[in-house]
């Protein structure tokens, strides 16, 4: 029976064989790699991956698709909302210190998934995700550009990221109304030690009114904390490099 894509799950199924091959080459799966796929759907990417890996763990929310995937002898199916999955437990179940994570992420919850994984990055070897092109542009954006924002800062602090492949709408069924792309995310071995919640709050305040100088937003936030250090608030949020935000969070948090 043909599976009808469900809008509430943000389902768009990849059907382009050339694009699938290119994604698999970018991921470069090796036999025995402890890999987890988010949102395998109709297994377009799952099948070529498992052929190279031997075994694959998949996370699928749609119960009909999960039931279909369980019939595959080489898949371990976790039927769950990915935002509720403890990836440290998954790594433990795979008897692996770190896991490789891949997937075609539902565009409606891609940012929450990225932040959920950020909280568990200590068990991640690498990540390869297909996302809305606009989201990846924001992830890899440089300072002083319109795409640079909270997502850029929070992810670039922890990952080296690269936009590795463009994916047009016609590669999917049904075609989405946006362009897609594939991003590679490699966690840094030794990122700057920082209070993540503090950094997140600080960056959120900074970008809350991005057209205004920081003295109107972050400056007041720092004053409320009686911060006595030096930080140039005569800039806009998008002009401040990631390293400066991290250094400020370390300083405010007593680590700098």
Give the residue ranges of the annotated binding site.
Answer: 12, 14, 39, 60, 81, 104
The three-class DSSP label of residue 134 is helix
Which residues on neighbouring strands pair with residue 184, listed in sequence order?
A: 128, 162
Question: What whole-number distance in Å separates Cα of residue 138 and Cα of residue 23?
Answer: 21
Asked whether the beta carbons of 29 and 53 are under 8 A apart, the reply is: yes
Question: CA-based angle 218:151:7, to the nearest 5?
Answer: 130
Alpha helices in the chain (DSSP H): 17-27, 46-53, 63-70, 87-93, 110-118, 133-139, 150-156, 196-206, 218-224, 242-252
Question: What whole-number distance in Å separates Cα of residue 157 and Cα of residue 27?
Answer: 22
Give the residue ranges of the annotated binding site for S-adenosyl-L-methionine: 12, 14, 39, 60, 81, 104
Question: What whole-number distance in Å separates Cα of residue 79 and Cα of residue 9?
Answer: 14
């Amino acid at each position: 029976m043909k599976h009808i894509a469900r809008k509430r799950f943000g389902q768009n199924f990849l059907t382009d064989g050339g694009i699938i091959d290119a994604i698999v080459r970018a991921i470069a799966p090796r036999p025995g790699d402890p890999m987890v796929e988010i949102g395998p759907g109709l297994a377009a990417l799952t099948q070529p991956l498992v052929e190279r890996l031997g075994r694959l763990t998949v996370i699928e929310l749609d119960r009909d698709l999960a039931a279909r995937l369980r019939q595959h002898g080489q898949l371990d199916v976790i039927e769950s909302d990915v935002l509720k999955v403890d990836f440290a437990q998954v790594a433990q179940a795979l008897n692996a210190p770190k896991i490789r994570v891949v997937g075609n992420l539902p565009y409606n919850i891609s940012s929450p998934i990225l932040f959920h994984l950020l909280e568990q990055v200590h068990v991640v070897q690498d990540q390869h995700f297909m996302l809305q092109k606009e989201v990846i542009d924001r992830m890899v954006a440089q300072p002083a550009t319109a795409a640079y924002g909270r997502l850029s800062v929070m992810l670039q602090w922890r990952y080296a990221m690269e936009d590795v492949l463009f994916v047009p709408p016609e590669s999917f069924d049904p075609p989405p109304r946006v362009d897609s792309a594939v991003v590679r995310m490699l966690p840094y071995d030794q990122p700057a030690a920082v209070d993540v919640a503090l950094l997140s709050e600080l960056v959120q305040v900074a970008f809350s009114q991005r057209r205004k100088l920081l003295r109107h937003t972050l400056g007041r936030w720092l004053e409320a904390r009686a911060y006595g250090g030096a930080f140039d608030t005569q800039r806009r949020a998008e002009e401040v490099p990631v390293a400066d935000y991290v250094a400020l969070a370390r300083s405010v948090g007593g680590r700098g």
